[in-house]
Amino acid sequence: MEKYRQIVFTKPCVAELLEKELPELAPTQVAVKTVISSISCGTERALASGDPNVSIAVAEGIEVKFPRTSGYSSAGVVLAVGSAVNDLKAGDRAAMCWSCHSEINVMPRHNVYKIADSVDFTSAALCHIGTFPLAAIRKTKLDVGESMMIMGLGVLGLWAVQLARIAGAVPVIAVDPVKERREKALALGADYAFDPTEADFVQKVKEVTCGGVNTVIEVTGLGVGMDQSLDCMKKFGRIALLGCTRNKEFHIDYYRKVHGPGITIIGAHTDARPKHESSDGWFTAKDDTESILKLIAGKRIDPSVMIDAVYSPEDCGEIYDRLCNDRSFPAVAQFDWTKLD
């Protein structure tokens, strides 16, 4: 049986590149040889460190067990297809959704998307991650000319900056305490970039938006991030909660910050979407993925410019030790599986 290698968290903050046996393909499965896989820092830090809150499908209080795996946004080349798959073939270039950091991914057909020759693997490997902020922006019902603030500039926030701009948000306001991330957001199209730790942060936001922002994508997942977002909003504003709030111990003055000004709070987890049919503001994963790929192929957006670092999977032990313990870890990083011996 053919062997392949996969990154596995064997215990808290310890990652190893382990050899596994390739299973036989089911009729509706596709085997893809991975070229690039993207690191989603927030989710993967939680998984690697043993945080219990990594899935809304997992009941509260469940004991955390290792080993764990991760790496849900990748791209590569189709190796083989199951007997019931007739619209993909070996050699096709593909983007993968809900994949793993693995040399070969065996995927359900519906999570594999053929990509155009004009779409590079680096960009395609960020496609699935890009569907998360795209869904959040859709849910705010952003109108052309409305303002949008992105709170938190990791990979999701940087994606949101670019998508907000092409969706017609004016101004696009990027917020993060890290100077380098703010500078990067400006380079990607943000009109303003502010530090939320500054005493006059809220005043600055209200000055550039004539009284407050219409829409917010909250990506920090922190209570303080949501609280500050609410402080910055215009009456009847809409805030999409995209970042995973893994710690529920925070308090909001809902009476004064939500109830009184008529703020709409929208759950924007990527699983909070229809399964089969898109409608206004509520798109399926398939439609959002195809939208992202069309934007890349049409040169409307270039995700590859977000990349800060590229690593070999063989260095995964060091990489995940840094991710767990160093908050200055790059915002957008990938594994290049062609670097394997």
Q: pLDDT tens-digit profile of 232-269?
A: 999 999 999 999 887 777 889 999 999 999 999 999 99
Each residue of 321-333: pLDDT tens digit?
999 999 889 999 9
Each residue of 181-204: pLDDT tens digit?
999 999 999 999 999 999 999 999
Q: Which of 56-65, 180-189, 223-232 has the lowest mean pLDDT?
A: 56-65
Closest CA to 244 of 41, 10, 66, 15: 41
Helix %, strand %, coil % of the chain (to 5): 30, 25, 40
Each residue of 115-159: pLDDT tens digit?
999 999 999 999 999 999 999 999 999 999 999 999 999 999 999
The reported pTM is 0.95
**Nearest 10 degrees: CA dihedral of 239, 241, 247, 251?**
20
267, β-bridge pairs = 241
Please state, for a pLDDT cut of 70, what percent of the chain lies above it: 97
Closest CA to 327 of 224, 178, 150: 178
Q: Is residue 334 over pLDDT 90?
A: yes
The three-class DSSP label of residue 213 is: strand
Kindly write down the DSSP assignment for every residue of 229-280, as one continuous string: HHHTEEEEEEEEE-S----------HIIIIITTT-EEEE--TTSS-SS--BT
In one-letter notation, the amino acid at residue 177 is P
In one-letter notation, the amino acid at residue 208 is V
**Which residue is listed with tokens 């820092």?**
41
How does residue 60 score in pLDDT terms, banded at 50, 70 and 90? low
Cα separation, 221 vs 247, in Å, equals 8
pLDDT at 53: 73
